[in-house]
Structure 1
Amino acid sequence: MSNRHFINDPQHLVLTSLQSTTLLNPGVALDAHNKIVYLRPGYGHASSSSNQRQKVSLISGGGSGHEPSFSSMVGRGLLSACVAGTIFASPSAEQVRTAIMGRVENNEPSSSSYSPEHGQQQGGEDAGGVLVVVMNYTGDVLNFGLAVEKAKAAGVNVEMVVVGDDVGVGRTKAGKVGRRGIAGTVLVQKIAGALAAQGRSLKEVTKVANLAAQNIVSVGASLEHVHVPGRRAEAEGAEFKVLKEGEVEIGMGIHNEQGSSREKGIGLPELVGKMLKQLLDRNDEDRAFVNVNSNEVVLLVNNLGGVSPLEMGGIVTEVVTQLAEQPYGIKPVRILSGTYMTSLNGLGFSISLLNVVNTDIGGPGMIDLLDYPSEATGWTAPISKLTWEEQRENKNTRENEVKSEEEVRPCGLTYDPQEAQKQLVAGLKAVIAAEPDVTKYDTMVGDGDCGIGLKRGAEAILSHLDSNPLTGDAAIDLAKIVTVVEQTMDGTSGALYGIFLNALVASLHTVGGGESDKKAADENAWAAALKLSCEALSKYTPARPGDRTLVDALYPFVDALEKTGDVKKAAEAAKQGAEGTKGMKAKLGRTVYIGGSGFEQVPDPGAWGLAKFFLGLAGIEKSDDSSAKQAKGSDDGWEEVTREAELP
């Protein structure tokens, strides 16, 4: 693992790398503040190779360190914009929202009809909009998903496709999280981008993108872990078990994630044979995700960043040779090789196979779409002379076109604002009072920041309510609170609450009749809206009751409220659900990797904090300012478990 770099400041490194895309392709611009690379106005939607105007914009992105994905995939015929995070970290939801709402053509409701019921633009199958393509990593799915929900609430026609093509980790180990996204993602982007460039509808582009994603399998192999610029090498070594001399890891992820096995002393032919078996063996029930049986198969051999072109040539020959032999007998109709998606300077490569299937849209097939011309420097097509000449006169950007979030419309569900604020304040104070316990629990089973995060959010909402008391319309009041939550709560919990609350705003409009048809926001109305929000949240996280997450308190509350119409009974159900997580082994989140026996002694911190909010809201649990300021306690048992959790 080399820890030497020409640029050791990771923030400077990411920004200057993004800036380089504008130097190499005059058709793109950079929003440096939000780390968004996007097509200059008038370029992507006026392709010289098509007489039909492009209706759909394509956005992708993720953590930096995978170049040329995603920034260098922005160009005519491919991505309309990419959103970059820091190295190996997801961009924020606000960055993504800015890209959707202000950096690409999105066909906002001002230019077509808008449906309050569905919260999105209407216009039939020919309606335009935005397709977001994201790899299957928790942070990416949650933050991009939150931005998608916010854009939908603002009336933008937007869909999201999640790509998980890695078979390095099988079904058993991956569990509910599913396959990781790796290099096969660029094939999905290229196919979707070409179809969008030909003027196809959002429905068609989304359908074909999903088809491509469902028919790709990939696996990687690496000789070394990579070192992130700016990190101490000893910290990297402590976090990952670095490969020994002569070892190769099969299935290693693009962020140094553990693969399926480590092999010692094997040559390239044996290594490729093991990788192809993981991709193609139908008898391997743990990894037989795609039956690659099409007459047309596309092969992508991707350089993870540190393999020489000379060696890549030898790898491609070995892969193609073994594919053609029995038992596979596969002769790819297209062979792509190069640096498409890296892991910084990773000394490894990946193999992707696309099983070409019929798109059933009455037009171009997947091969035609892969062959379709593009002007993205990360793809093989060159930048045209026309684009260079246009740049002399066209200096336009979208820097001044950021649009603030749409003013939330009344939903018609009304209540007594003074009484509601009193109940809400009680719930928030209960969360603050519970912070020491939540922090204690999270220190035993997680990274210790859950309690502080919940307290910070609760205090910010209380401060907001002091100067902005509730008005009496459920959607308007909640929308203002959502903004506070998004600004003060970060991490996975912040994204989960952000998605759920944004979906709840939209659900309140669905349940309510609008300003012209006012009705009481009673328990039944809230239960119906909460149920819809749970369904929306389930699209972005696999967490369900029994997985030891905040969902173990949320779902029982919603179910009990729907059945009984009694807030107190619902709050008690949430408490029981949270208490039931004690001894429950986590299936999602950081707790999965922590180890130790802390989970046997304490409930899930997030579920406990949420249950405390519901108990306070229902008036079951009282808390005053003094209790909210209590000091953290500890006991010998807690300290013992904490030490155990820290063992490697």
Structure 2
Amino acid sequence: MQTKHFIDDPVHLVSTALHSLTLTNPSLAFDAQNKIVYRRPSKELTENAKVSIISGGGSGHEPGFAGFVGKGLLTAGVAGSIFASPSAEQVRRAILTRVPTEKGVFVITMNYTGDVLNFGMAAEKAKATGIDTEFFAIGDDVGVGREKGGKVGRRGIGGGILVLKSIGALAEAGGSLQEVYKLAKQVAGNIVSVGASLEHVHVPGRAVPDPNSDEIIPTTEIEVGMGIHNEPGSHRVTATLPELIKVILGQMLDPNDKDRYFVDIKKGDKFVLFINNLGGVSMLELAGILAEIHKQLKEDWDIVPVRVIAGTFLTSLNGMGFSASLLKLEDTGLGSGKSMLELLDAPSEAVGWAAAISTSTWDADNTATADSHAAISGDAKASNLTLDPKKAQKALDGGIEKVIAAEPDVTKYDTIVGDGDCGIGLKRGAEAVRKDLASGDLPTDAVAFVNKIITVVENTMDGTSGAIYAIFLNALAHGLREQDTGSSKEVDAKVWAAALKSSLQALAKYTPAAVGDRTLMDALVPFVETLDSTGDVKKAAEAAKEGAEKTKNLKASLGRAVYVGAEQEWMGKIPDPGAWGLQEFLVGLAEGV
């Protein structure tokens, strides 16, 4: 493992690396505070409106993702620190202030929990303000199969760049938001990828690992299925390159491997072969790897790719490895000039795609910034849905008091089956909401009332549960707005139930959690379903409490409880902390109605 670096300060490293993109491509600008690289608002971009595409993720994957910002590809890229997702606030600012929104915004990232939650939260918040927004998480890896991947699904690795290139070209050609969204799902669903690496990587600023730890891959071994954040794959092998490639192609193409056979392949199908350098493999060696893969594809699988693309696209810092991807080409249904292959071949001006920057771009006025775009507040327009703010405050106070009183129990439960912060997080959020509501100035606009709470939750509740609550509340605001018919109407149980059902559907895009997984969904779903069927808040709260009680006998399939503690010691005794805290709030809410 290489542990020496020219720049050891990871914060300085990320900032300067992002700034450098504006030096190599003058059509780009850099929002240093929020780590956003975006296309300058030139006449070409603003007068001929197109769908804006925003992607991003942790730094350390260069040129992904900011390196793919440019004409014909992304409109903006949002970066986190090394191997860490950017915050939802960073992404929200990118949507609201750095890209055109007239034709809609497509938010797309790789399928990793932090990225899905934070980019997803920003997408839902954009929807809540009236911006036409769609979200998609790319999963193309088959090194970790269905059984191990579980509900989380496939990880996003190198092949995902083919998705970004395809949709970027479509947006540039004038494709609609729904066409871009549909194409992203289609291309991702036709890609299989597997990575391999000789070593883990060292992150600048971190301690040097113990040479005897699992962080060091033995000299004679290769990790098959290595992820882009040092994550392990399916297994390690001692093998020559031909033997390694045989294993990799088997995982990608063997129809008998039901755990990994994600793309149906028929004789005569056409493919694009995509080879991605994880950062530390010499171009000489990468070329040799490509040749071996191409040879075995032809000889063993009767596949001769119609395009071969190789280079450094999505790295793991200076990872001593590579990933191989195959994209099965099929009809997009978009008409002439918009086939998968034509979209991949379309020109772009993103340095990560190794496309030349045209003379006209260099000669253009490259001084404009997006500072004059919409204010960051992103305040949504008024709705025609009304409520009595005092009654709403009274009901919420009932729930808040129950949550605060239950904090010791929730904390105790979470200390046993989690990391101990659930109770404190819920209490912190509850106290902040109570304080904000007590300050007065409560709107009668139901959407504005919910948005007031959203702001408090986003600023006070952190961690996974905070992100889930924020996504749900943003989706609730959007769900309410969907029922605004244009005439004044007071929200009742029926309106709330419909909005809550819409929120559940939105939340399902960002977490696989469902009833039975021992999460807060075991309380939330029964509440929403019962409210929808009965219109009775008290019965809905009782259903939530029953659902939370049932978690005592459920085996955890998501979250830290999957691997923390001895399950047999708490089975039948300890409810899921998140579900228990939520039912306390809902019971108190019902009492206050």
Which interval holds the TM-score relative to the shorter structure? over 0.9
TM-score normalised to structure 1 length = 0.87
Whole-angstrom CA distance in 1 between matches of 2:290 and 2:565:
40
CA deviation digits over 1:307-336, x for unaligned, max 9? 11121111111111111113x111111111
* Partner of residue 296, structure 1: 270
1:247 to 221, 242, 256: 221
Q: CA deviation at 1:471?
A: 3.7
Residue 133 of structure 1 and its aligned partner are, at CA, apart by 1.8
Q: Following the alignment from structure 1 to structure 2, what is the Cα–Cα distance between the partners of residues 450 and 576?
A: 20
TM-score by length of 2: 0.95
Amino acid at match of 2:122: A
Aligned match for 1:229, one of 204, 209, 214:
204
2:101 to 106, 131, 135: 106
- Are 2:15 and 1:4 aligned? no
Q: Secondary structure at the match of 2:45?
A: coil
CA RMSD for the aligned pairs? 2.1
Shift of 1:213: 1.0
1:83 aligned residue (64, 78, 82):
78
Residues 1:146 and 2:121 are matched in the alignment: yes
Deviation sequence 1:562-610 (CA, Å, 0-9, x none)? 2333322222221221121124222222333435326524211111111
Contact 1:81 1:104 (8 Å CA) reproduced: yes
Contact 2:26 2:366 in 1 (8 A): no
- 2:195 matched to 1:220? yes
Report deviation, 1:463. 1.1
**1:586 is matched with which residue?**
556
Q: Is the 8 A contact 2:53 2:168 kept in 1?
A: yes
Provide closer, same or farther for how the CA distance between residues 246 and 402 of structure 1 changes in structure 2, counting only shifts above 3 A.
Answer: farther
Query: SS of the residue aligned with 2:188?
Result: helix
- Greater shift in the superposed pair: 193-202 or 274-283: 193-202
Residue of structure 2 in register with 1:561 after alignment? 531
- Give the AA of the match of 2:414: D
For 1:529 and 1:86, the matched residues in 2 are separated by 35
Tell me the equivalent position of 1:119. Answer: none
Q: Please give the alpha-carbon distance, in whole angstroms, between the structure 2 residues aligned to 1:619 and 1:399.
A: 48
Matches of 1:319 and 1:56, distance apart in 2: 36
Which SS does the other structure have where 1:580 is aligned?
helix
Matches within 5 A, 1:187-586: 187-234=162-209, 241-263=215-237, 265-293=238-266, 295-326=269-300, 328-364=301-337, 365-390=339-364, 393-403=365-375, 404-415=377-388, 417-468=389-440, 470-511=442-483, 513-514=485-486, 516-519=487-490, 521-586=491-556
Query: 1:237 Cα deviation (Å)?
Result: 8.0
Distance 2:134 2:336 in 1: 21
Give the distance between the partners of 1:179 and 1:414, measured in 2 at CA: 43
Q: Secondary structure at the match of 1:616?
A: helix
Partner in structure 2 of residue 67 of structure 1: 62
Give a deviation string over 1:174-219, Cα, whole Å, max 9, x none: 1111101111111111111111112222222222222111111100
Aligned pairs, number = 588
Q: Any idea what the Cα deviations from partners look like across 1:370-393, whole Å, max 9, x if unmatched? A: 111111111121112222222xx4
SS at match of 2:353: coil
Helix, strand or coil: the match of 2:450? helix
Unaligned runs of 5+ in 2: none
Give the Cα–Cα distance (whole angstroms) in 1 for the partners of residues 473 and 204 of structure 2: 36
Deviations 1:407-442 (A, max 9, x none): 442342423x33332221121122122222222222
Per the alignment, do residues 144 and 460 of structure 1 end up closer, same or farther by CA in structure 2, a change over 3 Å counting? same
Quick one: percent identity of the two aligned structures? Answer: 59
**Could you tell me how far apart the structure 1 residues matched to 2:44 and 2:484 are?**
40
| 1:98-128 CA-partner distances (Å, limit 9, x unpaired) | 1112111111xxxxxxxxxxxxxxxxxxxx2
Aligned-partner Cα distance in 1 for 2:361–2:249: 41
Runs of 4+ in 1 over 4 A off after TM superposition: 235-238
Classify 1:155/1:566 alpha carbon distance in 2 versus 1 (closer, same or farther; 3 Å). closer
CA distance in 2, matches of 1:399, 1:443: 46
1:3–1:578 Cα change, 3 Å: farther
Aligned-partner Cα distance in 2 for 1:428–1:469: 19
Residues 129 and 202, structure 1, Cα contact 8 Å, conserved in 2: yes
- AA paired with 1:268? L
Task: Point out the more displaced range, 29-38 or 201-210.
Answer: 201-210
User: Within 2, Cα distance between the matches of 1:618 and 1:160?
Assistant: 34
Q: Distance in 1 between matches of 2:565 and 2:279?
A: 33
Displacement of 1:241 in angstroms is 4.7
Distance 2:157 2:138 in 1: 8
Check conservation: 1:584, 1:599, Cα contact below 8 A: no
Aligned residue number for residue 575 of structure 2: 603
Mapped to 1, the partners of 2:498 and 2:373 lie a distance apart of 37
